[in-house]
Structure 1
Amino acid sequence: AARQKINEEFKNNQNETSEEKINELLKIASDVEVILRTSVIQAVHTDSDKILLVPRKDLLQDNTPYLDKPTKK
């Protein structure tokens, strides 16, 4: 769905000649790329009742332990 929307937006703006508008559109595209890379995970149906998650490196983060009490300084 995301790829279709991206292609649609590029087609809608392919004749844009304003450098300012083009830079604005490229900035939006870059921001969307960051959001998709860090927030969306891909999944593949492997069986009728199983899904394989395929996280990208950008999505993985260090495991931070939960602390009930703040650390003293």
Structure 2
Amino acid sequence: MSSHVWVEEGEYYCHCTVWKSKSGTWEASVLFERRIDHANEFVPGLRHKIKASFNSEGEAMTEAIAYAKACVENTKTGL
């Protein structure tokens, strides 16, 4: 089972994803894409997997959204 939230932050689209692992904890990742790149046929993106595990889906998603915003604010998206 997984959940997805799309966040527009600064010059980026951030696709936040959380999923339940086999161990029962929740994991999260964020895919970053530049908004300007969506004018092209091919849109490059870079996914960051958050290293921590979480106890709930809500906790994982909250952290993924906060991580996405922090990466954009600190220019740490990798793009």
State the TM-score, normalizing by the size of structure 1: 0.32
Which one has a larger percent strand, Structure 1 or Structure 2?
2
Which one has a larger percent helix, Structure 1 or Structure 2?
1
User: Larger Cα Rg: Structure 1 or Structure 2?
Assistant: 1
State the TM-score, normalizing by the size of structure 2: 0.30
